[in-house]
Amino acid sequence: MSWTLMNRCCLKCWHKPPDNPCPNYVQCRIKGPLCHDDPECRELRARRLNELEFGRYGVKVRVAIASCTLAVGAAEVYEAIRDYVKESGLAIDISVVGCHGLDFIDPWIEVVRKGYPPAIYANVSPEEVEDIISRYLSGDVSKAFALRYRTGNAKGEFHVPTLDELVFWRKQVRLVSSNCGLINPESIEEYVVRGGYLGLARALRMRPEEVIEEIKLAKLRGRGGAGFPTWIKWKAVKDQVSDVKYVVANAEEGDPSAFSNRLLVESDPHILVEGMIIAGYAIGASKGYVFVGTEGDLAAERLKKAIEEAKKYGLLGENILGSGFAFDIEIVQDAGRYTSGEETALLEEIEGKRSTPRVRPPYPVTKGLWGKPTVINNVETLAHAAVILRDGWDRYATIGTEKSGGTKMVSVSGSIKRPGVYEVPIGTTIRTIIEDIAGGAPEGLKLKAVEVGGPAGGFLPVSEINIPLDYDTLPKLGVAMGSGVLVAVDEHKCMVDLARQFMAFFVSESCGKCVPCRVGTKTMLSILERISSGKGSEEDLELLKELGETLKDACLCALGNGAPIPVLSSIRYFKEEFSAHIREKRCPAGICPVSREVVRYEG
């Protein structure tokens, strides 16, 4: 194996974990060598940086390999590139990267060459590979989707936009997703070169309470849905007197249409590892667990590799960077379900039990995993912690709102031109995300509503989406931030049918532990089915409202509390559609059974 930046540059470098680790090891990988002034070492480092960017031969093809790209043929594109390079005898390196989050351009590749603009090609098929590469090598980038930057040396480059000129890229602020689609997710070297583990190195030079204060000043709130201030949870666990404490990361992401956490773990797993170590140091924990669902095989595979690499270079394990702090991470993979998103149900599942919420109090911060104080955060929250410690709270807190700092990754799907995962400042309006960034409805369609926050988020009419996406504004309109899902609903959809579908989802996913959820969701579903079949009454609407308010207050966990929100928001904003089903016995969209003609065959 060739020398990498993670290796010792010469015998003067004394980093030998865990017995003799260098506290400045991470900084030295980026700016080194720091402990000695050696021109040969600096030249070695410069050559390696050039190789990482342009490959060993001056040309590199990056292929995006993630769940989203594999679903549309990225593996076949990769094989076609490999075969073409081999058969043509071209001196080209092929590298794997994660996903940008721009699902509408999948599968995509990027070709880079020293002195030429890096060019991104969208919706690539295996048959196009030869033409794309040969054109690029001839200096022609006119067929590219976008350029990273311009050099002025290529044909057609001024007719191709740079990423920063495209509205869906320009209006993002990519903090936790900055490496996604740019680095090899299986290379700790590429992560470190871009500032990875600098946050950890800085945290280990601080006292644990100073790390928590940094998180507080940054105004970081949990990105899992509730928006609870992260520093309060961390401090509560730190203040507990216990021989054992835990950090748990939830990477299961059970919400339909939510895929931001999976994108992060698949495309930049080290940012989760770094965030977990920082959290462990802040609260005094020595062990962390990451829960990954069985559908997250690629995420688990890349996370496992990241953990192994971090241990190899002394960034995980014993005496991290000479601080005396020890931390380890274990992956738990199981067939997670929607209830796994509830933190105490997640703990039950890690302990090998059925995924059902616990009665609270006690809360996990005092009695969590195996009865010990536990911090539970989702992937994105922990990734933000790594960014905050790397860049400083003062820079981070300038992004977002007065009460919520930073950004939120948003999964946009449905009737939309540019589906994908976008990272925007908290407080960005839903209209900006839906219309400007995601492009609005496809040609020939008109949007009617936006489903906000996942199954427990609720619906808003398009007339109400000029509001900020934040934790404080949305509840006033009867919806919630949730997991950051936005699903565009076009005019051909029926809101009664959508409310029925969501309630059917909750019935199937309810753990059944508490009566309000177990019985209440089934009762609400029965009423919705009655309305959709044309047998409903005005009293049914009042009963749905009454049941919904009861579930919001009486269910054991937040998942049950959120179950009626799609129904209540649909009635609030689209009551005329319910009335059409009840009074006129028709479905305006022609979807529900009430509008279907019964065809009779007479013998």
For the chain, list the domains and their CATH numbers: 55-165 (3.40.30.10), 188-396 (3.40.50.11540), 407-490 (3.10.20.600), 495-594 (1.20.1440.230)
- Cβ burial of 318 (10 Å; 0-12, 13-18, 19+) is middle
User: Is 0.75 topped by the overall pTM?
Assistant: yes
User: What pLDDT sits at residue 601?
Assistant: 47
Residue 336 pLDDT: 65
Q: Of the candidates 90, 142, 132, which has an alpha carbon nearest to the alpha carbon of residue 108?
A: 132
Looking at residue 598, what is its pLDDT? 44
- Ranges under pLDDT 70 in the chain: 1, 336, 596-603
User: Taking each helix axis from N to C terminus, what angle separates 538-554 and 575-583, rounded to the nearest 10 degrees?
Assistant: 140
What is residue 602's predicted lDDT score, i.e. its pLDDT? 52
Residue closest to 557 by CA, chosen among 397, 408, 339: 339
CA distance 240 to 402: 30
Q: What is the pLDDT of residue 149?
A: 94
The Cα 419–Cα 20 span in angstroms is 49
pLDDT score recorded for residue 518 = 92
Residue 31, pLDDT score: 85
Q: How far apart are CA 128 and CA 559, in angstroms?
A: 46
